[in-house]
Amino acid sequence: MSRVDFYILCDGNSVDRFACVIATKAWSDGNRVHIHTQSEEHATQFDDLLWIYDDISFVPHEIFDVDINHETPVTIGYGKHSPQVSQVMINLGSDIPDFASHFIRIVEIVGGNESNKQSARQRYRQYKKADYEIHDHKIENLTKND
């Protein structure tokens, strides 16, 4: 069964920037990572953010395309498809994608506003009902070492 880690951010911390930190750490630890976003527009914005979020490092990444053989260790996608070889999924969508169980580890990042918390609570209940191993982590300050 997959492990789900909920990272609960304090107000003012950016969900997308924290996702960059987690993606970088997971990739540095030798994992293939898929970042699931809510839409094509969000995927493109996240792709741009990964290029600039840290000016002294590089995370090899690309927008996921189901028709292309992916060698890139970090992919960004949306919709109903994901790479078959990734170990870690960072879910930036509001729902749990159908393919979530294909991943060894699932990362859920909860922003500080009430809408994000409500959506995360719903996903938490769904994961719990499906008998996933769930862990939660409160993040006070966003740093690249989290």
At 122-137, the pLDDT tens digits run 999 999 999 999 999 9
Higher pLDDT, 118 or 55: 118
pLDDT for the residue 142? 63
Instruction: Give CA–CA dist 50/123, Å, rounded.
Output: 26
Write the pLDDT tens digit of every residue in 85-102. 899 999 999 999 999 999
Encoded tokens for 53: 């979020």
Q: Provide DSSP, 58-120.
A: ---EEE--TTS----SEEEE-TT---SS-SEEEE-SSS--TTGGGSSEEEEEE-SSHHHHHHH
3-139 folds as: Rossmann fold (3.40.50)
pTM: 0.92
Higher pLDDT, 8 or 56: 8
Instruction: Give CA–CA dist 121/4, Å, rounded.
Output: 13
How is the chain split into domains, by residue range? 3-139
Residues facing 76 on adjacent strands: 35, 63
